[in-house]
Amino acid sequence: MKELAELKEFTASFFKNLGAITIWNQETLIVKGVPKDFEEFFGKKSPYKLVFNRSEEAQDTELIAKGSFLLKAIALYLEKKGQTTLLKVRALDPKELLRHKIVFNNCEIFSFEKKEKYKVITRFTFLTTFQYLNEKEQKMIPIYLSEGKTIEFDDRRFQFDEGKKEDIEVSGIKEQYVAARERLKELIKPQINEISKILKTKLSKEIERITSHYQRQENEIDKQIQSLTGQRSELEKPESKIDSQIASIRLKRIGEQLQKIAEENLKAKLQKEKEFLFRDEIQKHGLNIDTRLLNTTIIYYPIYQCTMLLKNSEVIGRPLEFFHNAKENTLTPLLCESCNVSLSSLTLCSSGHVVCKGCSLPCKSCIFGSCKLCGFKRCTRCDREYCKKCTKKCGRCFKEFCKTHVVPGKGATRLVCLNCSSGI
């Protein structure tokens, strides 16, 4: 299943990179607007209806499967072109992503700025062919590298736009290619071991069959020599009752037969034949591996450094900074300034602290409240608690009072409590 999924993705990506239009209709890939150079190379004009199972093959479809003509054409075309593709990950707007992840309770985003820098992933797509006996297996393997190290990356999760050379600087492709080849060796090693094990078992059976066959023939020669030698011994006995003239004729024939066997050296010939068949079977049961680089793709994605200002009627311009990684589709968490928990719901206290719901404390006077960092101040007159912005210090006695228990002092230059105001 994984190999089929990789084949589908490779085929779709190939035609996308050519600039063609690709549409999936269930298990059929419809390809339109294929460039003329590929149409001429393949020998057929688009659109193409591509299927990936022989059971779905029809008169108006093209099969993409092991050994299929179109797959070979794609491989040869890529080998001929030796193309390098540049793709940019289509990233979500970090501002909209933030709004989906965090509820702004008593404030809103006043301004939002983002700076972007790019990270690069290099994908090398290899076609490895395993050829043995009458079998031919082909396997397409993409290897991804980032910062010189191989990584796991599923590009099916993303949408891409055509990249621009001026966006990024690409270097070290040769070094990355060497690292990709080493990683490829690791990935195909289990399959090599599995095929080698099968071939070793089959070769062992063939060697055993050949050995048994030639052993029987050598045994036949030995029996023939033994029989002739025995007959000669009987004829040469003094007490033999066979006529001496007949015995002489028979001994002559036996001698000629033994001489012929010796001159023909049949056992040596059989040994040579056996060794030849051994070598032939060893060669037949060998594994040939051919690996070709089909495509190099430079994939780059943005990492946004975002700065936003929050405001409400009490606080204007509270700055917050976070990062958005388009590859992981993640935001660095915004933390409660009181308890350090990751925020999914954000509140600004009247002093401008960003806090979670648990650390937000309601004020008796305003809707913005305080937080655990700020705490409350108690009114000297009514003994009720208020946030910092809802309490004022008397200009004469310097005690804290709520807004309702202070009045403008003489000349309205300062506030004084009701007790001190009566003495003015």
Nearest C-alpha neighbor of 140 from the set 299, 31, 4? 4
What is the rounded CA–CA span in Å between residue 124 and residue 84? 9
The whole-number pLDDT of residue 305 equals 95
Alpha helices by DSSP H, listed for 68-147, are 69-81, 94-101
Is 101 a residue whose pLDDT tops 80? yes
Count the helix, strand and coil residues of the chain and give each as a percent rounded to the nearest 5: 40, 30, 30
Nearest C-alpha neighbor of 97 from the set 381, 394, 333? 333
The whole-number pLDDT of residue 271 equals 92
On whether the CB atoms of residues 180 and 124 are closer than 8 A, the answer is yes
Residues recorded for the chain: 424
The whole-number pLDDT of residue 57 equals 80
Pairing of strands 48-51, 62-63: parallel
Is 408 a residue whose pLDDT tops 90? no
Is 412 a residue whose pLDDT tops 90? no
The whole-number pLDDT of residue 102 equals 92
Q: Percent of the chain beyond pLDDT 90?
A: 34
What is the rounded CA–CA span in Å between residue 18 and residue 13? 9
pTM above the 0.75 mark? no
Is 362 a residue whose pLDDT tops 80? yes
The whole-number pLDDT of residue 241 equals 67
Q: What are phi and psi of 299, to 5 degrees?
A: -105, 130
Nearest C-alpha neighbor of 81 from the set 163, 161, 180, 14? 14
Nearest C-alpha neighbor of 352 from the set 342, 338, 364? 338
Q: Rounded mean pLDDT of 306-319?
A: 89
Is 424 a residue whose pLDDT tops 70? no
Q: Rounded mean pLDDT of 309-314?
A: 87
**What element of type H or E holds 220?**
helix 173-236
The whole-number pLDDT of residue 187 equals 94
Measured CA to CA in angstroms, residue 39 lies from 21, 47, 63, 80, 424 at distances of 14, 10, 16, 15, 98
The whole-number pLDDT of residue 423 equals 61
pLDDT digits (tens, 9 = 90+) for 136-150: 787 878 899 998 899
The whole-number pLDDT of residue 332 equals 92
Is 417 a residue whose pLDDT tops 80? yes
Q: Rounded mean pLDDT of 145-158?
A: 88
The whole-number pLDDT of residue 85 equals 80
Neighbours of 422 (CB within 10 A): 8
The whole-number pLDDT of residue 330 equals 87
The whole-number pLDDT of residue 286 equals 92
Is 2 a residue whose pLDDT tops 80? no
The whole-number pLDDT of residue 209 equals 95
The whole-number pLDDT of residue 302 equals 93
Q: Is 226 helix (H, G, I), strand (E, B) or coil?
A: helix
Helix and strand totals (H; E) in the chain? 8, 23
pLDDT band at 79; cut points 50, 70, 90: low
Q: Rounded mean pLDDT of 51-64?
A: 84
Structure tokens at 393: 């210090």
What is the rounded CA–CA span in Å between residue 344 and residue 75? 49
pLDDT digits (tens, 9 = 90+) for 103-136: 998 889 989 999 999 999 999 988 888 999 888 7
What is the rounded CA–CA span in Å between residue 32 and residue 22? 7
The whole-number pLDDT of residue 243 equals 74
The whole-number pLDDT of residue 10 equals 78
Structure tokens at 269: 């010939």
The whole-number pLDDT of residue 300 equals 94
- The mean of the pLDDT values for the chain is 87
The whole-number pLDDT of residue 81 equals 63
The whole-number pLDDT of residue 82 equals 57
Beta strand spans in 76-235 (E): 84-89, 103-104, 108-132, 135-146, 149-151, 160-162
Q: Rounded mean pLDDT of 246-253?
A: 83
What is the rounded CA–CA span in Å between residue 109 and residue 96? 11
pLDDT digits (tens, 9 = 90+) for 369-405: 788 888 888 888 888 888 888 888 898 889 989 888 9
Q: Percent of the chain beyond pLDDT 70?
A: 97
